[in-house]
Amino acid sequence: MTTQVPGQWWREGAFYQVYVPSFQDGDGDGFGDLRGVEHRLDYIAALGVTAIWLSPIYASPLLDFGYDVSGYTEVGAVFGDLATFERIVRGAHDRGLRVVLDYVPQHTSSEHPWFRDALSSRDSAHRDWYLWHDPKPDGSPPNNWASAFGGSSWTFHEPTGQYYYHAHLPEQPSLNWRNPDVKNAMFDVMRFWLDRGVDGFRVDAVWRLIKDARLRDNPMDDGSESFEIGGAAAHTTVRQIQKYTADQPELPGLLTEMHTVTEDYADRMLMGELHLKLERVAALGSRGLDIAMNFSLIDTPWNGVDLAKLIQRYYAALPAGSHPNWVLSNHDRSRLASRIGTERVPGALTLLLTLKGTPTLYYGDELGLPDSPVDSAHARDCAELRAPGLGLGRDPQRMPMPWQEKPAHAGFSPDDVETWLPIPSWAGEFSVESQEFDPGSVLSLGKELLTLRKELAVLREGSITVLSAHPDHLIYRRGDGEDAVLVAVNLSDRDQRIALPDARNTLWSSHATVNERDQPTDAVTLAPFEARLLTGSLGNGFASAVQPAVHRRPE
Pick the closest to residue 58 from 104, 116, 89 (CA basis).
104
Tell me if 43 sits within 8 A of 8, measured CB to CB: no
**From CA 462, how far away is CA 479, in angstroms rounded?**
4
Alpha helices by DSSP H, listed for 208-319, are 233, 251-263, 278-284, 296-299, 304-317
Asked if 371 is an active-site residue, the reply is no
Cβ neighbours for 395, distance < 8 A, ≥ 6 positions apart: 374, 378, 379, 380, 381, 384, 421
**Of residues 25, 64, 273, 332, which has the active-site annotation?**
273
3-state helix, strand, coil in the chain (%, to 5): 30, 20, 50
**Contact between 201 and 270 (Cβ < 8 Å):** yes
Q: 435-465 as b/e, with b when 16 or more CB fall inside 10 Å?
A: beeeeebbbebbbbbbebbeebebbbebebb
Name every residue whose Cβ is closer than 8 Å to that of residue 153 and which is 6 or more positions away in sequence: 145, 146, 147, 165, 166, 167, 245
Separation between Cα atoms, residue 203 and residue 272, nearest integer Å: 5
Q: Mark whether 273 is an active-site residue.
A: yes
How far is Cα 542 from Cα 192, in angstroms, rounded to an integer? 53
Chain Cα centroid distance, residue 80: 24
Distance CA 365, CA 489 (A): 18
Q: Which of 25, 68, 199, 204 is catalytic?
A: 204
List active site positions: 204, 273
